[in-house]
Amino acid sequence: MLAHFAPSSPFVVAMLVVCLIMVLAFEVSNGFHDSSNAVATVIYTNSLEPVPAVVWSGLMNLVGVLVGGISVAFALVTILPPDVLTPPDGSPAVPMLVSIFSSALLWNVLTWYFAIPNSSSHCVIGSLIGVAAADALLKSRNLAEGVDWHQIVTVLKALAVSPVLGFAIAGGLYWILRMVVRRGDLLEAPRDGKRPVWWMRALLITTCTTVSISHGTNDGQKSIGLIMLTVIGLLPATYALNPQSAGQIKQLSEYGSQAVPLIAEYGDDVKTQGLNAAQALQRAGPDTLREADALSANQPVQAGDRATRSQLRGYVYDVVSEMKYVSQKKNVPEAERRQASMLLKSMSTPVEYAPWWVRVLSAVCLGAGTMVGYRRVVRTLGERLGRQKMTPGQGASSELVGSLLIGTAGLTGLPVSTTHIITSGIAGTMAASGQGVQRRTLVRIAATWLITLPVTIALAGTFFYLLA
């Protein structure tokens, strides 16, 4: 349906604007869920008032987004096949964007409404898988090869293992804390209106700060790649290629030449498309030089730049997809796999980037969402996980462990769920304290975790199948 409209038609531009609003709304809903975990302990224990806590967490999220890079952002984006990211006719990928944002936003808001600490990461990943699967079906491709299962399994492993680590390590840390401290305010639930002693407040504010920064380095990145896809659709001449990668853009023709024999020999079931793209890059030497010089000199956009830069971006994604396949194929000789990995890394730089203002926009939306919707999640984490209310020591233990796990994952490019890690960490401290957990709440959370992927896969896949 949407694919039949001209790329520059008013309707498509209007839909791209709607997509931008939707992805920003999703980032706000991410704040409802994930950023609320960072401020839960300082607000629940009266260490900080809600407004300064949320503002401080938002600023630290911004720091995390700015220093954390974009590896997590594009680890998710590359789940999608290249012809969805950049359609062959140069049209914006409106059906893909509408499908992802609609399904992820709908499920995020529903779970927030019922005060369930759901994972925004699961929402996005499920939506991406749904679009990739629907695209394979539309093109009559085998799902085994039409979907990048290697990337999906890598992402899901990190999501599955991190909550287990959070539960075990946070529980162990709190057990040690109880053995050392034995009594005192660290191990007592907060009383209404009573502030902890100064050193305890400092400890909890510190752990809130570390979780907020690490959240920015990981969860804050997850919408950046999607924001960029929307911005590129609106302004392809300006944002289709990275202006800071003029050197790699000039080398695209040479990279295409090197990729041709690898694709011809070891490509997947759509290698013809990748081979055509590599050969097109091979012939596009003058175009790559002209565009690289124009971008590095910040020259005014010319009339033909929109088409040329969008085409180059599409060719790059087609070749990169084949290079990823070749680099992971076990029966390819080691030398060819190394060469494919090198080309994959070099060719990704011109198309995988985010300007500073996109990072700031993502962080602002996270902070806004936290300020609007933190109360529901804070109460669930503070009062409904354990049989007794959360103590400052439990909050500090879970957040300290969470910040280490989330920050490490963000720096290594693995997307994890802040909600899963912090919630599991708090549950671990409740178990270690001997007070036990509320089975009903944990069952609700676990059930939501289990059904989020299939629900968002089905929603996004159906939307994309109908729209595309």
**Separation between Cα atoms, residue 427 and residue 457, nearest integer Å:** 28
Q: Between vectors from CA 258 to CA 256 and to CA 262, what angle results, nearest 5°?
A: 105
Q: pLDDT band for position 119 (50/70/90)?
A: confident
**φ/ψ of residue 408, rounded to 5:** -65, -45
* Segment 259-263 mean pLDDT: 93
Summary mean pLDDT of the chain: 80
Cβ count near 417 (within 10 Å): 32
pLDDT tens digits, 361-416: 887 887 777 666 556 555 555 455 545 667 777 878 888 888 888 878 766 777 77
Counting Cα atoms < 13 Å in the Cβ hemisphere of 184 gives 14
Q: Are 76 and 125 in contact (CB under 8 A)?
A: yes
Q: pLDDT band for position 104 (50/70/90)?
A: confident
For the chain, give the percent of residues with pLDDT over 70.
Answer: 83
Q: Of 222-226, 336-340, 369-373, 428-432, which gets the smallest average pLDDT? A: 369-373
For the chain, give the percent of residues with pLDDT over 90.
Answer: 12
Say what the pLDDT of residue 386 is: 47
Q: Report which of residues 131 and 115 the model is more confident about.
A: 131
Of 138-147, 336-345, 429-438, highest mean pLDDT: 336-345
Q: pLDDT band for position 280 (50/70/90)?
A: very high
Q: pLDDT band for position 276 (50/70/90)?
A: very high
Q: Quote the pTM value.
A: 0.79
* Segment 357-362 mean pLDDT: 86
Q: pLDDT band for position 426 (50/70/90)?
A: confident
User: Does residue 262 carry a pLDDT above 70?
Assistant: yes
User: Does residue 257 carry a pLDDT above 90?
Assistant: yes
